[in-house]
Structure 1
């Protein structure tokens, strides 16, 4: 199992060149689901980064497939007190190790930002965006809803795998 994921952002031209330059690396080109052509390159090799400006996430918990397909969502939560951090760790641990995975969820990763340990990231992969939207309304998501406020700098980023337009 990998212990770290790295991500960088850029243009299609720059990120595609990285993929070409490192063909043996699993570098996944992601396109923002909400704004289109806002691209990210995800390195899921667990190796030292080949990016010039990487953001590294240390994987604390993982369950599910390592076959990257479908819809990808990042939930970011930080600015937690020591007590809130314990609660978040407990809820994430229980969900990832105990609760059944929701319909359509392919994998879930609970991660920490390497530079800012108070930044919690829940990375999930799904068959499609609708499955993710349904999960946010289910009881299994409820333990995380406490943190979905601006007080905790909650924000999300959703992606799908980049597919160039066919002309």
Structure 2
């Protein structure tokens, strides 16, 4: 299992060149589902980064497939009190070990930002975006609702795989 994921952002031209330059790496070109033309390159190889300005996430736990397909969502939660951090860690770890996974969820990664250890990230992969939307309204997401506030710097980023014919 990989222990780190890296991401960088840029133009299609720059990110595509990196994919071409490192064909042996698992570099996934992603397009923002909501903003369009906001591209990211996700390195899921677990190797030392080839990006000039990467953001590294240390994987604390994983569940599900390692086959990257479909819809991808990042949930960022930061600025937790020490007590809230313990509660969040417990809820995330419990979710990673509880059956069954929500309908359409392919995988979940519980991660920490390498430079900002208080930044918690839930990276989830889905068959389709509707499955993610349903999960957020489902009972299995309820343990995380407490943390979804602006005081915790909560925000999300959703992506799909870049398809040249889309642009």
TM-score strictly above 0.5: yes
- How many residues were matched structurally? 167
2:135: which partner in 1?
A: 135
The answer to whether structure 1 residue 152 and structure 2 residue 152 are counterparts is yes
RMSD over aligned CA atoms reads 1.0
2:27: which partner in 1?
A: 27
Write out per-residue CA displacement over residues 34-89 of structure 1, whole angstroms, 9 at most, x where no aligned residue: 01110000000000000000000000000000000000000000000100000000
2:39: which partner in 1?
A: 39
- Given that residues 72 and 124 in structure 1 are in contact (C-alpha distance below 8 angstroms), is that contact kept between their aligned partners in structure 2? yes
- What pairs with 1:85-96 in structure 2 (closer than 5 Å)? 85-96=85-96
State TM-score, norm by structure 1: 0.98
Distance 1:47 1:166 in 2: 30
Structure 2 unaligned blocks of 5 or more: none
Write out per-residue CA displacement over residues 116-154 of structure 1, whole angstroms, 9 at most, x where no aligned residue: 000000000000000000000000000000000000000
2:121: which partner in 1?
A: 121
Distance 2:147 2:31 in 1: 26
Structure 1 unaligned blocks of 5 or more: none
Runs of 4+ in 1 over 6 A off after TM superposition: none
Deviation at 1:165, TM superposition (A): 1.4
Deviation at 1:99, TM superposition (A): 3.7
Judge which range, 94-103 or 153-162, deviates more: 94-103
- What pairs with 1:53-64 in structure 2 (closer than 5 Å)? 53-64=53-64
SS of corresponding position for 1:118:
coil
Distance 2:142 2:36 in 1: 29
- Given that residues 99 and 140 in structure 1 are in contact (C-alpha distance below 8 angstroms), is that contact kept between their aligned partners in structure 2? no
State TM-score, norm by structure 2: 0.98
